[in-house]
Chain A
Amino acid sequence: NAGVMQNPRHLVRRRGQEARLRCSPMKGHSHVYWYRQLPEEGLKFMVYLQKENIIDESGMPKERFSAEFPKEGPSILRIQQVVRGDSAAYFCASSPYYPGTRNTGELFFGEGSRLTVL
């Protein structure tokens, strides 16, 4: 399966613990995006990364959240000291192109990681 792979699909954490969500983009894709969908809300952009670089993190909360996309391995979204408000579905998407080039902004999404904070 050459699609975007996210794991874990479901993650339960207690308040104060850390959550790590992983995303392996499609083969050949070097652009990764993280989105969050809160209950009853739409998709909210969090961060856009290329290999080893954070390009745009304007949607990331200033504290407790961080993201990386190392040269080797998956992209990681890390949430420290989770709170109940962090409970959401976190979607990763990848693209082979810089947004808007080749006349397409199409992103390929993973199935999401659902975080529940108790």
Chain B
Amino acid sequence: DQQVKQNSPSLSVQEGRISILNCDYTNSMFDYFLWYKKYPAEGPTFLISISSIKDKNEDGRFTVFLNKSAKHLSLHIAPSQPGDSAVYFCAAISNAGNNRKLIWGLGTSLAVNP
């Protein structure tokens, strides 16, 4: 049962354009969401996060939008650069229970073409 879904395995964008990566979730108890970026042969690195009490968080070229009613969040990268080419993982934390572990999506591979 995939509670965090990234339905697009891959995305290709032209340099300078906006990249939009989507993530859907099923568990209404999730209260914190994170995006991680992963280059080949490296571990994931934290990119940006958002609390469920907010609907937008911005950090430089990266903006995350959260639509709680739709159980949907998206990561916008604008403008996209070739160095942004990587796999992007969406992850969520539930506020239920004592064990608040991250639940991960399967990732979206972004290719930014020069």
Q: B-contacting residues of A (Cβ < 8 Å)?
A: 4, 33, 35, 41-45, 48, 55-56, 91, 93, 98-100, 103-112
Contact = CB atoms under 8 A, between A and B. Distances in A.
Contact of B41 (A103, A110, A111): A111
Contact of B43 (A42, A45, A56, A111): A111
Interface in B20-53: 31-32, 34, 36, 41-46, 49, 51
Contact of B101 (A4, A48, A103): A48
Given A43-B89, A105-B100, 10 more contacts: A33-B102, A42-B104, A56-B99, A56-B101, A104-B49, A105-B34, A108-B46, A109-B43, A109-B45, A111-B43
A107 B106 contact: no
Contacts of A56: 99, 101
A45 to B, nearest CB: 6
Given A48-B99, A107-B102, A43 B44 contact: yes
Nearest to A100: B100
A112 B39 CA distance: 12
A42 B34 contact: no
A34 to B, nearest CB: 12
A31 B46 CA distance: 16
A113 B34 CA distance: 24
Contacts of A99: 93, 99-102
B41 to A, nearest CB: 7
A45 B101 contact: yes
B95 to A, nearest CB: 7
A9 to B, nearest CB: 9
